[in-house]
Amino acid sequence: MADLRNNFVGIKSPNPFWLASAPPTDKAYNVERAFKAGWGGVVWKTLGSEGPPVVNVNGPRYGAIFGADRRLLGLNNIELITDRPLQVNLQEMKQVKMNWPDRALIASIMVPCVEEEWKAILPLVEETGADGIELNFGCPHGMSERGMGSAVGQVPEYIEMVVRWCKQYTRMPVITKLTPNITDIRHPARAAKRGGTDAVSLINTINSIVSVDLDSFAPVPTVGGKGSHGGYCGPAVKPIALNMVSEIARDSETYGLPISGIGGVTTWRDAAEFLALGAGNVQVCTAAMTYGFKIVQEMISGLSDWMDAKGHKTLDDICGRAVPNVTDWKYLNLNYVAKAHIDQDACIKCGRCHIACEDTSHQAITSIVDGLRKFEVMEDECVGCNLCVNVCPVENCITMVGLEPGTLDQRTGKPVDPTYANWTTHPNNPMAVQAAE
């Protein structure tokens, strides 16, 4: 059996699946149920200061994007940080940690950018026995208008400053949660590292309006006839999250900085992809809100079975394995050639590949062969774009076949370059040069 035990910046948990700071982690009742279901850790819903109480809307808080089968693709929320009293949260956190000493319990914190505010709250959190803190520099709505959340996460200097305060006033590991609502994710990550953070977590939710009610002409969710921008999460944000995680994992200035991956993790495969791109563990929210806490059991068994099948014994065997294969476009192997191939036995003759290629691509798929409705790839016109693969409704009906070195590329009339068909030896590849040295 694969060993799924996780050690993230010294915080140990039985598996790498944590619940993210969100409605599912707002109180002891939820967290106890989550731990009973098998979650390795939780990040408690974000705590605020003991100042004026946080007041959430008493109406719709979520908007959604659905697939054709009404499968939830994206969730937009306008909920704020916890509206429960700080002392109540702290007492519950302490009791939960006593009940579940083997699980990770992280306190998410958001207070104003004032040193005394951070200095005051950190000892209170530390007294609960929490394993670490997560600095919420990502919330894009409600709190950001008050100078917190993403308003801090968008200013690297503020990030570095607050991280330094936290490292000064607490013994607990500090995880800095980053906002995706920024041009280049590397800059806030570098700032967090300069401040001394032990790790970063990302992504927080994306600023969004998911839809407009065309009867009331108000954004959804609508509260009393008005709507507001909110935070977007769920399966739809996973590609953005994967890219940002990989950017930090391969950046020379943040290389080796532990990462907790967040954004659309719904299955074990999603988790494995985050781990492969450099994350040390993953945090989940939307999947739990959609399917309930027991979904973690499928994630655990799926990841374990896949690791067993591939011969991976521990999480260290897969963490970061894909990072060396992420590169800039200019380093891609332009001598590599692939062509589309249609499996005629699997083809259902729907014609989607032909229409997509004929109307929007390279007119490389014929629709009539010997007077019959049949779809075949004309290799001399095919540029290997693989649009046909992505629009075909039959899995593996159309595949991309790489040409062997020396094979004549019918489109260019030239043979595939035998010297550099393997990009790992190409002199323009910095990884190859590095390896040679």
Domain boundaries, the chain: 6-325, 329-436
Beta strand 414-415 pairing with 408-409: antiparallel
Q: Count the alpha carbons within 13 Å of 119 in the hemisphere toward its beta carbon.
A: 6
The pLDDT of residue 404 is 79
Q: Which amino acid is present at 43? A: V
Question: Cβ(186)–Cβ(142) under 8 Å?
Answer: no
Task: Kindly provide the residue ranges of all beta strands, DSSP E only, lying in 127-198, ordered along the sequence.
Answer: 132-136, 174-177
Write out the CATH class of domain 329-436.
alpha beta
Closest CA to 385 of 403, 402, 362, 365: 362
Tell me how long the chain is: 437
Low-confidence residues in the chain, pLDDT < 50: 419-428, 430-437
The pLDDT of residue 29 is 97
Residues 6+ apart with CB under 8 A from 97: 105, 128, 129, 130, 131
The CATH T-level fold of domain 6-325 is TIM Barrel (3.20.20)
Spatial distance between the Cα atoms of 1 and 272, rounded to a whole number of angstroms: 16
The string of DSSP codes covering 173-199 is -EEEEPPS-SS-THHHHHHHHHHT-SE
- Quick one: DSSP state of residue 226? B
The pLDDT of residue 422 is 47
Place of tokens 């990884």: 431
The pLDDT of residue 268 is 98
The pLDDT of residue 24 is 93
Spatial distance between the Cα atoms of 414 and 161, rounded to a whole number of angstroms: 57
Closest CA to 26 of 73, 96, 78, 76: 96
Classified as helix, coil or strand, 211 is: strand
- Active site residues per annotation: 139
Q: Show the tokens assigned to 318.
A: 């897969």
Question: Cβ(175)–Cβ(236) under 8 Å?
Answer: no
pTM for this prediction: 0.89
Spatial distance between the Cα atoms of 75 and 64, rounded to a whole number of angstroms: 5
Instruction: Tell me the per-residue pLDDT of 331-380, one tens digit each, with 9 for 90 and over.
Output: 888 888 999 999 999 999 999 999 999 999 999 999 988 888 999 999 88
Q: Which amino acid is present at 67? A: G
List the helix and strand counts (H, then E) for the chain. Answer: 13, 22
Q: Which amino acid is present at 348? A: I
Spatial distance between the Cα atoms of 437 and 400, rounded to a whole number of angstroms: 34
Closest CA to 43 of 123, 103, 127, 112: 103
